[in-house]
């Protein structure tokens, strides 16, 4: 969803920048578009790290591959992860996140079956 939103915003800002090319708002639109383009490569890392299926065991694996203590606490921001250079390990983090998603789906299916058995 984030990627779709960013693509849509980028397209809109491109049109605005073209329409207002010689006006000050056109400069603002181009500036925001440039920032969105710089943000776009970070989207896969955001998607991998915001996975609701990530459990402590997955965060421990991420910590192992990065060589840093990666923990999510209430005030953790994405910028904290960028400062840790987690993007350098994107492929491995995505793989862990995919496994976490599969495990999460299985957990939810098991919970559903157990609830059905109780009824």
| pLDDT tens-place values along the chain, 119 residues long | 778 888 888 788 778 777 777 777 767 877 888 888 898 899 999 999 999 999 999 999 999 999 999 988 888 889 989 999 999 999 999 999 999 999 999 999 999 999 999 87
63 and 69 Cβ atoms separated by less than 8 Å: yes
Least Cα distance to 6 among 27, 45, 32 occurs for 32
CA atoms of 10 and 37, how far apart (whole Å): 7
Whole-model pTM: value is 0.75
Could you tell me where the DSSP H helices lie in 1-119? 2-19, 24-39, 43-49, 56-66, 78-83, 90-118
Residues 6+ apart with CB under 8 A from 37: 10
């Amino acid at each position: 969803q984030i990627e779709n939103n960013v693509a849509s915003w980028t397209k809109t800002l491109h049109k605005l920048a073209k329409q207002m090319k010689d006006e000050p708002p056109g400069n603002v639109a181009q500036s925001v578009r440039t920032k969105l383009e710089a943000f776009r490569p970070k989207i896969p890392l955001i998607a991998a790290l915001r996975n609701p299926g990530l459990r402590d065991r997955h965060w421990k694996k991420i910590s192992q591959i990065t060589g840093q203590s990666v923990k999510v606490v209430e005030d953790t921001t994405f910028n904290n992860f960028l400062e840790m250079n987690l993007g350098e390990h994107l492929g491995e983090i995505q793989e862990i996140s995919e496994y976490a998603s599969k495990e999460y789906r299985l957990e939810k299916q098991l919970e559903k079956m157990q609830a059905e058995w109780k009824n």
